[in-house]
């Protein structure tokens, strides 16, 4: 599997580290809602299809990336710097 | 200045080694720059940091990903968003860059004693490096002067191509001896000379 890093270009999977589901939204740090924290930590949809996820190009430019990958074919549908998508989310 | 002692010294064996059919297909040597400096800019300050590098070193690096330049004594290249490596055979480039890049622009990290610089040159340089890194070393994918960051297991490595048949590698000093031995072993098949 190749991941097209926005800085480095297409690179081998061995240079990347998976950092989990990118659709999770962390509850407010002050929240004591146990169900919300439980859902944040444990609940995963286990998507069969397009999945939004964080990766780090740890063996390369070390950028954190947000990738949409098909879990059925491993096709990478989109790649962006994670910081850009996080800025988008905080502006929304 | 403090004398830089080679991390490779105990295993650095000058001369011809490996397969001698047809002589050495590559030459390996430690380039021992006096300065190896990393510059990191804050987001939005990339242009200012790059301008400071170019002015300090009389180089002309562009902002493109992985873009680099080199001369007989100096080289610089981008290896990550907002990050560049600057190498000078003379000592003191860390101080020069620190004078030109303030804390509002970015950070300057002097790695002169923290990295080992290794050159690999010869007709089979691409072949030997391809054994170690999951990179396309062909000239089309990796043009002269371009820099790339990559890794072979724990050996995080910055590579700049400095000729069609030459690459300059920068590895952590603490891993350098182990990496050098791996590089030599990988080159035995084609025959190599340590200069
Ligand atoms: Zn990258």
The DSSP code sequence of B120-138 is EESTTHHHHHHHH-SS--S
> What ipTM score was computed for the predicted complex, to two decimals?
0.90
For the beta carbon of residue A79, count every other beta carbon within 10 angstroms.
16
Structurally, how many domains does chain B consist of?
2
- For chains A and B, CB pairs below 8 A equal 37
Per-residue pLDDT tens over the stretch B54-79: 998 888 999 999 999 999 999 999 99
Percent of residues in chain B assigned helix, strand, coil, to nearest 5: 25, 35, 40
pLDDT digits (tens, 9 = 90+) for B131-168: 999 999 999 999 999 999 999 998 999 999 999 999 99
Choose the mutation target among B135, B157, B158 for the interface with A, i.e. most A CBs under 10 Å: B135
pLDDT by residue (tens digit) across A10-55? 999 999 999 999 998 899 999 999 999 999 999 998 999 999 999 9
Answer yes or no: do B67 and B101 share one domain. Answer: yes
Residue A1, chain B, CB below 8 Å: the answer is no
Cβ count within 10 A of residue A91: 6
Report the C-alpha gap between A83 and B172 in whole angstroms. 28
Q: Any alpha helices (H) in A28-68, and if so which ranges? A: 34-42
End position of a domain, from candidates B67, B87, B110? B110
For residues B57 and B23, membership in a common domain is answered with no
Could you tell me if B42 and B71 lie in one domain?
A: yes
Residue A4 near chain B (CB below 8 Å) = no
Minimal C-alpha gap between B153 and chain A (Å): 8
Residue B124 falls inside a structural domain: yes
pTM for this one? Answer: 0.92
B3: left (phi over 0), alpha (psi -120 to 50) or beta: beta
> In terms of residue numbers, what domain contains B22?
9-32+114-194
């Amino acid at each position: 599997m190749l991941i097209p890093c926005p800085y480095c270009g297409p690179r081998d999977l061995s240079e990347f580290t998976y950092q989990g589901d990118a659709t999770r939204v962390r509850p407010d740090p002050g929240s004591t809602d146990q169900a919300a924290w439980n859902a944040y930590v444990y609940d995963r949809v286990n998507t069969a299809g397009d999945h939004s996820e964080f990766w780090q190009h740890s063996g390369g430019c070390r950028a954190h990336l947000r990738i949409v990958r098909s879990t059925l074919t491993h096709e990478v549908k989109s790649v962006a710097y994670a910081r850009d998508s996080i800025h988008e989310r905080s502006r929304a | 200045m403090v004398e830089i002692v080679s991390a490779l010294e105990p295993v650095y064996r000058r001369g011809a080694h490996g397969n001698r059919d047809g002589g050495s297909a590559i030459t390996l040597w430690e380039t021992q720059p006096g300065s190896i400096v990393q510059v990191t800019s804050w987001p939005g300050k990339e242009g200012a940091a790059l301008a400071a590098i170019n002015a300090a070193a009389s180089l002309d690096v562009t902002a493109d990903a992985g873009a680099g330049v080199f001369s007989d004594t100096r080289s610089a290249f981008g290896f990550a968003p907002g990050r560049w490596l600057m190498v000078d055979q003379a000592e003191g480039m860390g101080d020069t860059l620190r004078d030109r890049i303030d804390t509002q622009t970015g950070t300057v990290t002097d790695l002169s004693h923290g990295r080992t610089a290794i050159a690999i040159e010869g007709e089979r340089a691409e072949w030997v490096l391809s054994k170690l890194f999951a990179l396309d070393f062909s000239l089309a994918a990796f043009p002269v002067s371009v820099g790339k960051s990559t890794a072979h297991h724990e050996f995080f490595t910055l590579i700049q191509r400095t000729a069609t048949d030459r690459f300059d590698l920068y590895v952590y000093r603490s891993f350098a001896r182990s990496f050098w031995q791996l590089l030599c072993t990988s080159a035995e098949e084609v025959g190599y000379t340590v200069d």
